[in-house]
Amino acid sequence: MGDWRLSEGWKSVPDSRTPDPPDGEPGPWRDRTGGVMHGVYERRIGGVESGRPAHVEGIAAWYGSRLWSWSGPEMPRFRDRRVSPWNPILAQGLRCEGVEMTPYRTPSWCEEWIAEALLRDLKPYGRFALPYKSAMDWFAEAGRAGLVYRATRDDPADGDDGERRLYIVAAVARTYGEVFDLDALIADYQDALPEDLAAPQIDALQRHRDQSMGLLYVLADDADERFWAAPRAVRGLTLGYPPSSTAARILAEAEPTSGTPRTRRFLEPAAHPQPTGLANGTGRTNGQQMIRVPECRHPGRPHARVADMTPATFATIVRWIDRSWPVDMPRGLYPDSALELERSGYLIAIAYRAYVSGDPLLRVPIGDDPAAEGELHRYVCCLLRGMSKDPREIHLDAVYARKMVWS
């Protein structure tokens, strides 16, 4: 995106989710008046031509540090207080490489933020873990907030009562049509995406109009399987992610399968040509091979848990994290047990982001046996899903970040 501070048109977007600034010296990022950057900023690129929407770029700054950036087609009709760029950023602990100053002060910060955002009606759906006592307090408030939830208890052998956590999935009980202005969102998708990409997303949104989010994706026996199988427009809306970013990911997913970029309906910075997809179906984006994210193979059963790792598997995963860690990213934790690694699941997420975003020739393998790499990759994805971290989201965030660097 270049040095966005030198460009005109950036506007601050007020949002109560913006984390409070810390004490101490701010980071180096300033606006054109010299003020410390703090919050979400967006700008609109290109005018409207022949009904084509403009391109929107955004950035999240925290006390003078650039925390995250994104871009996608403008979707101006849909607005909702439960949808915000902060939702994917703060729920996943996203940060740009090299950023030292972040609001994520503890390993459990993101989990606690999701729980609070749900109670404040700032997020429609979330997956998180809380210590047992904190979870009991959260349950007492969830009913008053119009939420439904399900919880899975830790194995008591993992620690004493103070260490046990409850893994919680929660959502609003009302229907999608009651919660969101679906007509506005559907109209935006019709303008933002090519017809063949927009049609299945719009059809899915229409089918969800009279469906309860809580009944469908929390209380149903196959709620998790249904959620991960839902079209991206539905998943993005359910998670409270901005539809502009969701539309950009739909486009990013579609391009590698065809070998050439799709004709877009919105104006965007010129991108480098896309090479032809490989014969085995593994496409390339910006000259680098895209890796496939495997699905889990345990219908009806919970995802793998980090705390359940064998000593040999723990050693393999920790060695992979050590070898994959970005050289320019500070790291203050080196877990010496599977339970400690589970409490710091972001370490696996960061290693996986490096795994899916790097040049395949330089990619650090998870294990030492090439024949077992596929199953280890599937296992890591299962671990991430068990920690409420979608490996497909991590993958597409990495792919889209790389596309923005090339644009």
How many CA within 13 A on the CB side of residue 211? Answer: 21
Cα four-point dihedral sign 28, 33, 35, 36: negative
Identify the residue with better confidence: 175 or 37. Answer: 175
Last residue of a domain, one of 58, 92, 126: 92
Lowest mean pLDDT among 36-45, 213-222, 250-259, 378-387: 250-259
pTM (two decimals): 0.67
Most confident of the ranges 137-151, 157-171, 276-290: 137-151
What are the tens digits of pLDDT across the range 55-71?
888 889 988 888 888 88
Helix or strand (DSSP H, E) at 285 = strand 284-285
| pLDDT score recorded for residue 277 | 29
| pLDDT score recorded for residue 198 | 95
**Is residue 14 a part of any domain in this protein?**
yes
User: Can you tell me the mean pLDDT for 87-114?
Assistant: 84
User: Both tokens of residue 94?
Assistant: 């996203």
Specify the DSSP class assigned to residue 372.
G
**Is residue 115 a part of any domain in this protein?**
no
Last residue of a domain, one of 65, 92, 119: 92
Whether 252 and 72 have beta carbons less than 8 Å apart is answered as no
- pLDDT at 331 > cutoff 70: no
Residue 48, Cβ density class (10 Å: 0-12 exposed, 13-18 middle, ≥19 buried): middle
Last residue of a domain, one of 92, 114, 149: 92
**Is residue 222 a part of any domain in this protein?**
no
What are the tens digits of pLDDT across the range 379-391?
999 999 888 788 8
**Is residue 74 a part of any domain in this protein?**
yes
| pLDDT score recorded for residue 356 | 83
Q: Token pair 């490489």 is at which residue?
A: 97
| pLDDT score recorded for residue 317 | 93
Question: What is the spatial distance between Cα 29 and Cα 34, in angstroms, rounded to a whole number?
Answer: 9
CA distances from 91 to 30, 87, 94, 217, 373 (A): 25, 6, 8, 18, 29
Report the alpha-carbon angle 56-62-65, nearest 5. 90
Which residues, in sequence order, are CB contacts of 68 under 8 Å at separation 6+? 59, 60, 85, 89, 94, 95, 96
What's the number of domains the chain is made of? 2
pLDDT band at 359 (very low <50, low <70, confident <90, very high): low
**Is residue 203 a part of any domain in this protein?**
no
At residue 8, what is the residue type? Answer: E
User: Can you tell me the mean pLDDT for 142-152?
Assistant: 93
Specify the DSSP class assigned to residue 212.
B
**Is residue 116 a part of any domain in this protein?**
no
Segments forming the whole domain that contains residue 47: 4-92
pLDDT band at 237 (very low <50, low <70, confident <90, very high): very high
Whether 294 and 378 have beta carbons less than 8 Å apart is answered as yes
pLDDT band at 80 (very low <50, low <70, confident <90, very high): very high
Most confident of the ranges 254-268, 302-316, 328-342: 302-316
Question: How many Cβ atoms sit within 10 Å of the Cβ of residue 301?
Answer: 8
- Report CA 16 to chain centroid distance, whole Å: 20
Average pLDDT, the chain: 80
Question: What is the spatial distance between Cα 338 and Cα 132, in angstroms, rounded to a whole number?
Answer: 20
